[in-house]
Amino acid sequence: RGDAVVTGGTISALVSSERSASRLPGTVLVVDANEGVRNALHELLQPERVSIRLSSSGQEALAMVKQKAPALLIVDASLSDRDGIAVLEEAQRIDSRMIGVVMTGSASVELAVRAMRAGFSDVLTKPFQSESVLTTVRRLLELHRMRADQTVLKHAAVRSGAVRLQSVPFQTFGD
């Protein structure tokens, strides 16, 4: 049924017949110093037909984001060169539409709160449950697609004249 555990090595029993043949929209950038984790996530996501990029450091990931921002950034909380949460914050200054997921081997309430305040949409705890990772990635890529569609529709409505944007002057209370 696709409930293999991803521990940083290979994925033992996966390939679910429930997977869709259509390509998921957007790109996923996976950032982890551990090559086994990067490769395991690549192997897990590849049958989903999603575009996957891999990075071993925060600095390399930020260079990749500047080159072409992903829809979804999955980053380890503690990278060798930078704090993973700081990487997302910096990446979102480059492209605020990006959605972030933090990975950690030692989840805590403090980390979860810090991640959510920084703009992360989810926290994945290592070792991963593959179905949980797939569900999270599918959900967040769909969210990214819907936000992009909404933006396109808003711009089309404004250009067509169906919607008029106005500046509301500032008023003091009591006027």
What pLDDT shows up at residue 5? 45
Residue 137 CB coordination number (10 Å) = 25
Q: What is the largest CA-CA distance in the chain?
A: 69
What pLDDT shows up at residue 136? 93
What pLDDT shows up at residue 16? 36
> Residue 28 forms beta bridges with which residues?
52, 72
What pLDDT shows up at residue 118? 79
> pLDDT per position in the chain (175 positions), as tens?
344 444 444 333 333 333 334 456 789 999 999 999 999 999 999 998 899 999 999 999 999 999 999 999 999 998 999 989 999 999 999 998 899 999 988 777 787 777 778 778 888 888 989 999 999 999 999 988 888 778 777 777 777 877 676 666 655 555 5
- The answer to whether 56 and 32 are in contact (CB under 8 A) is yes
Structure letter (DSSP) for residue 77: S
Task: Please give the Cα distance from 136 to 102 (Å, whole number).
Answer: 11
Task: Please give the Cα distance from 4 to 7 (Å, whole number).
Answer: 10
Model pTM score: 0.74
Residue 26 CB coordination number (10 Å) = 22
What pLDDT shows up at residue 146? 87
What pLDDT shows up at residue 167? 64
Task: Please give the Cα distance from 91 to 105 (Å, whole number).
Answer: 22
Q: Cis omega before residue 25 (within 30°)?
A: no
What pLDDT shows up at residue 169? 65
Structure letter (DSSP) for residue 51: E
User: Residue 136: what residue type?
Assistant: T
Structure letter (DSSP) for residue 48: G
What pLDDT shows up at residue 14? 36
Task: Please give the Cα distance from 168 to 125 (Å, whole number).
Answer: 46
